[in-house]
Structure 1
Amino acid sequence: MEWRAVCVADVDALAELLGRDEEATVGRRESGPAEARSMLAAPGLDLPSRTWTASGPDGGLLGFAALHPAPQPGELRAQLVVAPSPDAPAVTATLLDRLDVWAAHDLPTPDTPVTLYQLPGCFPHDQLLSRGWTVVNSSSRLTVDLDAIRLPDHPAPAVRAARNETDLRTVHSVLNEAFADDPEHPHPDFDAFHHAQRRRDGYNPDLWLLAELDSVPAGALIARDPVDRAWIAWFGVHPAHRRHGLGAQLLTTAFSLLHTRGHRTVGVDVDTHNTGAMQAYTSAGMTLLGAADQWRRTYV
């Protein structure tokens, strides 16, 4: 067994590892090179020092781990993928040891949480529990085939793209108001939020959308369009302006813009328990692809 850091040339091998893990866990392969590329391009991830992988005699990857800043300011996000093999228990233990070492060095404070997403019934489940990781939430992934749904012929009258920094700040403000009651939602100031968005693959201020009701900002959406697949990154409607169809207008406008830019599919990750958001996405034509458990560990 060979241990080393990964590099961008490992995209196909990592995609194959993801596929084997998914096939063993949920019975089908859902990820490919696009997902592998996204993992390696995570903002703040230093490939030489914060990734570790094991490969077998045939050169195929047996496991992968990484640690990098989470989208929530001040938190860390771990990545862990292990495919079934006779060496899987030892591979899992070594990768978790490496995550512990990295976390001890990178945590800004001992009580800073580290999060990790895993498929339900994942192979590392028992080892994660034994090391103090706990499941705290569930996230669902939905996708839409833009060629299979009817897209509007004209822009939604209540929706427009952000035109300048003032509009970008308004998008940020509306999203904060939309998630004001969500304890899991971070509330960084605009500069920190915008800096984090600019570091994400596919950042494009032309895809920051505002929905207005009687000229009052009422909803917002941020989409990203990396080469491989487009994503809905942020989406929310102010509580006082819900049930006016603004969410549907934001989503269909985003779908149309992304289709015009050459995308055929759009994905989104959403809190499984957020029934309002799940209904908004499915009503717009998105379908459930699968779910993942959110694990968390605090090193205190």
Structure 2
Amino acid sequence: MPNNPTGRALRLLSLLQTHRFWQCGELAARLEVTERTVRRDVDRLRALGYPIDSESGKYGGYRLETGAHVPPLIVDDDEAVAIAVGLRCAAEAAIDGMEETSLRALTKIESLLPHRLRRRVSALSSNVTPLRRTADDAVIDPEALALLAAACRDREHVRFDYRRGDGGDGRRSVEPHGLVTAGRRWYLAAWDRDRGDWRTFRLDRIRSVRPTGGHFDSRVIPGGGAAALVASSLGPEPNSRAATLIVHTTFAELEGALRWFDHTLIETTPALCRVRIRDADLGRLAMAVTRIALTGPVEVVEPPELADIVRSLATHLKQDA
């Protein structure tokens, strides 16, 4: 790769498309070239139309401009597999219309993958079985989800109709503070204006979301945030499963992957992180391990059955690579 200018430029573009600031020395180390070569490759990308900002000086470097129109994105092998796996998981989401949309996108992505990557994605699909929705898993209105997410962001009052657990209906006026996923369920953490207290609401029971136009000041959610509030309202999950992992990477590299999963960081050192992840379904735990493995080598400490699935999956991926 270092001696192939085209391949090296594509790898450089893949790094820049994270939109983080890269010091020139960091890029040179990643690409195993000199800083002078990095500067030449940046000039090549600029000539192709990629808007790249630069900062000079001892700690100077490069960043791809945010929000600018750029040519098609470039992804590496691991990123392509991660996109395909993510779309397959999204097809199982309890959001109305998401299954069809995700499968259409997945079909397009898989048709563009080279044979070796299609085999890797196929190995993941054939060896991990998601837990299908049961009859009581009502789907979520995507428009309501979008409106509530915007209201959380903009700190805007909303009203909606809500079906309680006992089947009764009511109307709520709330200050929405955060959305939380728990397995296949989505929840809204909000300050209930009529009751003067915090409440959590299942999104599949929410209908007719209406922003009222009024705004509110953000409140401190008790217990440590929206996720903690929802966890407290749900109580312990009798069928929840936990897995302990050792990930051989820094926490800075791992942090972005962990935000997608219910997790507890047990230990972190400069060389590894010990973490516990939780889900009600063993198949989704295996999917979580594959996502986390993109950040560094993973050891499954427990449970043994998850370790067996991951070893089997690794064997198939090695054969199909």
From the two aligned structures, give the one with the greater helix fraction.
2
Normalising by structure 1, what TM-score? 0.29
Normalising by structure 2, what TM-score? 0.27
**Which is bigger in relative contact order (C-alpha 8 A, separation at least 6)?**
1
